[in-house]
Each structure stands twice: as structure tokens, then as C-alpha cells.
């Protein structure tokens, strides 16, 4: 494949709660791009006033959380006229905000769990337990709590609210956790996630060996088609571009609910997009190369 770019900056680190994970993702991406034949500069982003080398042809964004996924860094790169991986500033903003995501998906008829959002603490849960409460604008399950017992509600809500003052509360969907990755518009194999107790939280995500990942997911061909179709509809509705990962839940009766779109999935040793790509026969360097080739300025 002819390469559009030669000198690439990998943005990593950042100043969100996900800095450590981003550093790991960025280091892995940098290794992959070097293996794929690129000249790579690793840029640890410590503030919005970051610098890029004058020879930079494109940017691979490996920043997770605030500024990296919410449209902040995308707006800066757009203003500088530098091609970058992933979604546009507006699509990033909407996908990162769980409240805006719910509104957008409901507008186009995509099923989401029953839920609401809260701007302040309350003594009683607004919907029956079991439920999930999480900050409206965080990633990697930061501040996310599974509330199966009413007694855990006050502390769980308080923690979710402390990040940006807005929390999303949703019914916990009993069943199977599934995820579908995308490279461009192409869906990757469906992955089933089996976390301890069904709670796919930050610990379950980033502790090697704690969570079981089945790829391809052991579901019927008919279910696989429905899952990938709904994931693609979600990806398009939220403006997905270049790469992404849609998380869903499937009930024992086969009903599907969309949880969110991750516009900058992780690239660590436990991350799901590389696992799915590997199952599709796409090596890690090739995955990084393909995503970079889809870089744009819009």
C-alpha cells in the first residue's frame, strides 16, 4: 500500500484521569507504526499548548478521556491543518458525552437502556436497581458504578458526580456484554466480554487475566449479523470515522441495547480493537497503518 504520510506524531499521555492508559496506548501505536515503516515522534501532551515538529505529516491520536476524545485536540489539529486519526471535533464531542449520545441514538431509533441524567445528589435512585451510574463525560469506566443494592446508591452517585457534575443513570441490562470494532466502515469480529460478576469496570478492563474475552463471540450467525448491523448504524449515527468501537448488551432473549461509541479505543495489551483486528487477520502494525491512512482534517 502506498503511504500518504511519512513523518507521524503520536499524541499520548494527556492530562485526564486516563493518562497512564494513554501512555501505554501511545507507546504501542508508536512501535506499530515504526514497524510499518513510518518515522514516528512520540508527543506527551501535557497541556493544550503542545508542539508538533515542522516535518509532521499527520497525527495519530492515542489520547483517552478529556481533551483527547471530546473534540478538544481535534479542533486544534483542524485549525492547524494537520490530518489526524479518528472523528471530527463535533462527532467526538457528541460521542464522548453520554447524555448527548443517548439523545442522538434515541432520535434515530437505536435502542438504549432506560435511563436519565442527574445534576445533583438524591436519596433515592430514579430507576429501580440493578442500575449503572457513571459520569456523563469520562471514559475507561472512570467513576462508573454498578448498583445492585440500594444501600450503595448514595456513594456511587456522589462519586459519579464529582468528575464534572453530571451523571447518567441507566438500567443494568442482564445478559451478554458485546463489542464491535471498526476500521473505517468495516466491522471487525464481535467480541464477547466476560467480566467478573458481569461488572466490566476499570479494574476488569486493565487487569490482565481478570476478564475473559471471546473472539469471535460464541453467538449465532443471525445474532452476529444483527449485532454488527446495529453497531454500524450506531457508528454512522454518531459520525464515526477511521476507527471506533461500539459497546452493546444482549439480553437472554436476544434483545440488543447500545451503550456507547468509543471514538479512540485503547491500544494496550488488553485492548479490544487490536484483539478483534487480530482475529480478522490484521496484524497490529497493519492495524495502525490502516487507521493512519484514513486520517483527515475535517
Concerning whether 140 is annotated as a catalytic residue, the answer is yes
User: Does residue 214 share a domain with residue 67?
Assistant: no
Length of the chain: 298
> What pLDDT is recorded for position 115?
97
Give every residue of the chain whose pLDDT is below 50, as ranges. Answer: none
Domain that holds residue 262: 94-111+174-288
> What pLDDT is recorded for position 290?
97
List the catalytic residue out of 88, 156, 262, 295.
262
CATH classification at residue 197: 3.30.470.20
List the catalytic residue out of 19, 245, 249, 290.
245
How far from each other are the two terminal CA atoms of the chain, in whole angstroms? 23
Residue partners of 239: CB distance under 8 A and separation at least 6? 87, 88, 90, 91, 94, 95
pLDDT in tens, 234-247: 999 999 999 999 99
> What pLDDT is recorded for position 87?
97
Concerning whether 155 is annotated as a catalytic residue, the answer is no
Concerning whether 286 is annotated as a catalytic residue, the answer is no
Average pLDDT, the chain: 95
> What pLDDT is recorded for position 1?
53
Cα separation, 14 vs 25, whole angstroms: 12
Concerning whether 245 is annotated as a catalytic residue, the answer is yes
Cell of 32: 506499530
List the catalytic residue out of 25, 266, 289, 295.
266
CATH classification at residue 40: 3.40.50.20
User: Does residue 78 share a domain with residue 15?
Assistant: yes
Concerning whether 39 is annotated as a catalytic residue, the answer is no
Q: What is the model's pTM?
A: 0.94
User: Does residue 279 share a domain with residue 207?
Assistant: yes
Concerning whether 114 is annotated as a catalytic residue, the answer is no
> What pLDDT is recorded for position 155?
96
> What pLDDT is recorded for position 224?
98
Name the phi and psi angles at 213, rounded to 5: -120, 125
List the catalytic residue out of 18, 57, 170, 289.
18
User: Does residue 247 share a domain with residue 158?
Assistant: no
List the catalytic residue out of 206, 241, 289, 295.
206
Amino acid at each position: 500500500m502506498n503511504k500518504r504520510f511519512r513523518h507521524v506524531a503520536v499524541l499520548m499521555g494527556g492530562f485526564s484521569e486516563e493518562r497512564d492508559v494513554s501512555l501505554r496506548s501511545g507507546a504501542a501505536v508508536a512501535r506499530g507504526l515504526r514497524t510499518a515503516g513510518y518515522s514516528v515522534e512520540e508527543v506527551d501532551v501535557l497541556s493544550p499548548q503542545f508542539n508538533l515538529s515542522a516535518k509532521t505529516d499527520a497525527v495519530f491520536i492515542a489520547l483517552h478521556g478529556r481533551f483527547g476524545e471530546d473534540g478538544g485536540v481535534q479542533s486544534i489539529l483542524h485549525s492547524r491543518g494537520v490530518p489526524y486519526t479518528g472523528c471530527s471535533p463535533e462527532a467526538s464531542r457528541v460521542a464522548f458525552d453520554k447524555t448527548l449520545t443517548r439523545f442522538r441514538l434515541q432520535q434515530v431509533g437505536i435502542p438504549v437502556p432506560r435511563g436519565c441524567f442527574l445534576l445533583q445528589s438524591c436519596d433515592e435512585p430514579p430507576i429501580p436497581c440493578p442500575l449503572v451510574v457513571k459520569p456523563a463525560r469520562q471514559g475507561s469506566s472512570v467513576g462508573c458504578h454498578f448498583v445492585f443494592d440500594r444501600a450503595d446508591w448514595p456513594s456511587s452517585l456522589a462519586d459519579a458526580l464529582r468528575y464534572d457534575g453530571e451523571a447518567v443513570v441507566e438500567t443494568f441490562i442482564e445478559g451478554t456484554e458485546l463489542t464491535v470494532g471498526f476500521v473505517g466502515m468495516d466491522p471487525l469480529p464481535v467480541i464477547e466480554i466476560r467480566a467478573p460478576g458481569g461488572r466490566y469496570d476499570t479494574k476488569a478492563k486493565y487487569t490482565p487475566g481478570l476478564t475473559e474475552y471471546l473472539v469471535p463471540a460464541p453467538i449465532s450467525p443471525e445474532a452476529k449479523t444483527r449485532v454488527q448491523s446495529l453497531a454500524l448504524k450506531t457508528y454512522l449515527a454518531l459520525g464515526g470515522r477511521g476507527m471506533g468501537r461500539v459497546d452493546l448488551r444482549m439480553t437472554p432473549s436476544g434483545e440488543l441495547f447500545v451503550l456507547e461509541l468509543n471514538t479512540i479505543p485503547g491500544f494496550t495489551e488488553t485492548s479490544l480493537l487490536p484483539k478483534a483486528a487480530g482475529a480478522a487477520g490484521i496484524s497490529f502494525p497493519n492495524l495502525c497503518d490502516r487507521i493512519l491512512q484514513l486520517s483527515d482534517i475535517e
